[in-house]
Amino acid sequence: MTMNKILLCFFIFCSYFKPAFSQDDPAQLRSIYDYALTEGKAYEDLRYLCKEIGPRMTGSENAQKAVEWSVEKMEAYGFDSVWTQPVDVQRWIRGEKEFCATSLGDTLDVLAIGFSKGTSGRITAGVVEFSTLEQLKSAPDGSLEGKIAFVNQPMNPKLIDTFGAYGGCAGARSIGPSIASSKGAIAYVMRSLGLRADDFPHTGVMAHPEGIDSIPAFALSTNSAFKLSQLLEENPNTELQLESHCHYLPDVTSYNVVGQITGSEYPDQYVVTGGHLDSWDVGEGAHDDGTGVIQSMEALRILKELNIRPRHSLRCVFFMNEECGARGATVYAEEAKANGEKHIAAMESDRGGFAPRGFSVDAPEGQIAYLAEWESLFEPFNIHFIRKGYGGVDINPLKAQGTPLIGFVPDPQRYFDVHHTSNDVFENVNQRELELGAASMASILYLIDKHGIPTAIRD
């Protein structure tokens, strides 16, 4: 390459990457953060959702109460339109508290895995331990006949991104039970998907592949899994007693809740932010995902209260059923398609209400580079990246419609201390962290609305 060519590249580089924002953006972002931190409603709204309504298991009465409250709140905040979208959902009931003890009399801390079958009385059987799901997969057919399979796979503590560690183990919960069943096991227990050594088991959803008998399935707290493993090492004949009372009720109709501030220039183009309104039945669904829905609503409310009239229509969507199959996500995307709605961006907050760290973008490289130009605007707020990454479960179906997806990324270290446990309560949410998240989301919505995302930039 000649000097002149290098020089040319340098100048093309510089001009191509000129900031895609305007002079008054820093002040506007500052006003958004100021407002969120002094006039915020997110913390009180989250308190109500967690403490006055409580856990919001798909199909439950609480979930219905939450739907009604969400509609009222969005209307009270003066959004231009508020509506619901019917979502047909299953109804799984945990029933009476589960029981788990060893033949030596040690009681273990346990939760039935969501959508697992009850035991119909007490099961007592020997246990076969596997240190990984892969090891279970390799067990010979029929080798678990009459046994309880135990997958004792820890999340990898070396991964700085705890969601990566979760992803690496989540199969133990989702497909572990059916694999165990296919090899003859009569029940399944697993180490909870948490990083901490504690006494709080983590529930979550499991799959039911066709043609495989469903068996009762349980998650042990990390301490209980450690204990069971020790006992099995001392005596491989240690038996486990298991009892659960899970069952189904008939399907019901539940709802997504959508609130909209209608755009002044492009009312038929949409920028969406959302989270999921449903939660597990233990705890209060505070970080998962009370914070996400409340932050989404708060982001729109902040822009409205600051008299920022958007050019495009802004929506917050409270998705239903994320924990149990994400049917609400499918309904929203289908309806958007059927109505020919053009979504220019969709954002999701479903990684907890912790201190904001950045945004991950699932879009063509050119669009990611365009959005990354805004990084410097967020630096004063201690947010340091806008980069390639996952969007979110509930916005994912919009990808097929060409919508760039944005995941709000808070600090990931504490999430798996509370995720799907009785610890996921309001008290474990910090007000400032929650508010900073809402402000961050409002800020990027503001920037997208103002500057757009060029569709021409593709990889």
The contact set with its own copies (CB under 8 A) reads 3, 6-7, 10, 33-34, 37-38, 157-158, 160-162, 195-196, 355, 357, 380-382, 384-385, 411, 413-414, 417, 430-433, 436
Peptide bond connecting 80 to the previous residue in cis, omega within 30 degrees of 0 = no
Q: What are residue 360's DSSP bridge partners? A: 387, 407
Distance CA 221, CA 217 (A): 14
What is the token pair recorded at 249? Answer: 């009720």
What is the distance between the terminal CA atoms of the chain, rounded to a whole angstrom?
25
User: Which secondary structure element, helix H or strand E, spans residue 456, and what is its range?
Assistant: none
Residue 124: C-alpha distances to residues 101, 102, 146, 239, 245 (Å):
9, 9, 10, 7, 15
Backbone φ, ψ for residue 120 (5° rounding): 50, 65
Q: Which of 405, 261, 260 is nearest to 343 (CA)?
A: 405
**Shortest reach from residue 386's CB to its own copies, in Å:** 12
**Shortest reach from residue 168's CB to its own copies, in Å:** 15
**Shortest reach from residue 412's CB to its own copies, in Å:** 8
Query: For its own copies, which is the closer residue by CB, 42 or 185?
Result: 42
Query: For its own copies, which is the closer residue by CB, 17 or 83?
Result: 17
Query: For its own copies, which is the closer residue by CB, 239 or 411?
Result: 411
Query: For its own copies, which is the closer residue by CB, 188 or 200?
Result: 200
Query: For its own copies, which is the closer residue by CB, 287 or 357?
Result: 357
Query: For its own copies, which is the closer residue by CB, 157 or 209?
Result: 157
Distance CA 273, CA 441 (A): 8
**Shortest reach from residue 453's CB to its own copies, in Å:** 24
Query: For its own copies, which is the closer residue by CB, 21 or 385?
Result: 385
Query: For its own copies, which is the closer residue by CB, 37 or 123?
Result: 37
DSSP codes of every residue in 244-283? ---EEEEEEEEEEEEEEE--SSEEEEEEEEEEES-B-SST
Q: Which of 438, 444, 447, 428 is nearest to 50 (CA)?
A: 428
Residue 247: C-alpha distances to residues 54, 95, 96 (Å):
21, 7, 10
**Shortest reach from residue 429's CB to its own copies, in Å:** 11
User: What letter does residue 358 receive in the DSSP assignment?
Assistant: E
Query: For its own copies, which is the closer residue by CB, 202 or 315?
Result: 202
Number of H helices and number of E strands within the chain? 15, 15
Count other C-beta atoms under 10 Å from residue 308's C-beta. 18
Radius of gyration for the chain, computed over Cα atoms and rounded to the nearest angstrom: 24
**Shortest reach from residue 438's CB to its own copies, in Å:** 14
**Shortest reach from residue 46's CB to its own copies, in Å:** 14
**Shortest reach from residue 365's CB to its own copies, in Å:** 19
Distance CA 235, CA 223 (A): 18
Query: For its own copies, which is the closer residue by CB, 330 or 413?
Result: 413
**Shortest reach from residue 222's CB to its own copies, in Å:** 12
- Furthest C-alpha separation in the chain: 81
**Shortest reach from residue 358's CB to its own copies, in Å:** 9
Yes or no: say if 323 and 283 are a contact pair by the CB < 8 Å rule: no
